[in-house]
Structure 1
Amino acid sequence: MGEPVMTDDATLVALAAGGSEHAFRTLYRAYARPVYWLAHGLVGNQADAEDVTQETFMAAWRKLPGLQLAGDSLLPWLVTVCRFQAANRVRRQQRERAHTTDAAQDSLPATVDVAQQVIDAEVAALIVAEVGRLTPTDREIFRLCAVEGYAYQAAADELGVAHGTVRNRLSRIRGRLRTVVTETEST
């Protein structure tokens, strides 16, 4: 008999903090993609983004026992951890680049656009905050379709709602997020 499906982040965090690998895997599956895309935006390449994503979840695993989840989602906290891991990686690579004479081994561009990294991180934080304001059903639709890549019908089946409900709500969610990003870019 398998473990029950759990979707409440606070419950999953408590179980993972107690050593449940199943709960931690569930959190990983739910948030690995958004963490990866944030990391990719911060470090600029696939290999480093994959490393930062893994470092983020390794740090999360270590820190879960003392974590008091603020809100319904673990994602805002993971975004913060990811930003620190990415910044550490960029600094470490800059130090290594400064100490090596072999430019062919450079894994970073000659200049790092810190301003763009800050903007990208701010936009990601705004999106995470906006997703946090969604209804629980809309958050699940966003997670399933936008984060995990479910098709509309698969998400509808998972949630027990109609295909049109998923399609219409996801369209509305994307519009809200697009507005947040557009407003940020115009300021």
Structure 2
Amino acid sequence: MAPDPLDRVLGALNAARQASSDYDLNPEIILPAGRKLRAAGVLVPVISTGGVARVILTKRSSALKHHPGQIAFPGGKQDLGDVDITATALREAQEEIGLDPANVEVLGHLPKHETVTGFDVTPVLARVSHPFVARAEVGEVDEVFEVPLSHLLTLSHFRVEQRRWRGSWRRYYTVPFGPYYVWGATARILRTLAEMARP
């Protein structure tokens, strides 16, 4: 039997690990103490088809207020009706890509990530049990696509780039794949995943 591509990640899930931030590569930025962040959950869904494990990602609608047109995990802010942050991620994945929560095996949480837009994001690592037909939520998601897990677990595929943001240079991780420019919070969370899988 072939080894589970997530074995190394699962072995590191319970190890203490520092939360990440959109500011990780910008130590000159001093964050205010006592700042209030909004809780959010994203699903990191891994599906195996044809013997190849892939991560499901979305391209956000260009009409959205936050992160328009960017590559993202299915997810969003926690609602009052969500029993916990895992429920948030599962609900959002069902709404955004049509993934039935009954078709998902939750494996655990990756370290939290703070975004520049004021969200405290909990990534929920999950395995999709069976193939499904993705359905992009109109007005929220322009495209649903998959990236081989092996590509995202290869640290050499990550680069540090920079751009001007609010009058100063901001550095961030990217992990491009074909026509998809994966960067910012999504790339940083994937970088953590790759670091956890490192032998």
Q: Which has the higher helix share?
A: 1
User: What TM-score comes out, normalization by structure 1 length?
Assistant: 0.25
Rg: which structure is higher?
Answer: 1
User: What TM-score comes out, normalization by structure 2 length?
Assistant: 0.24
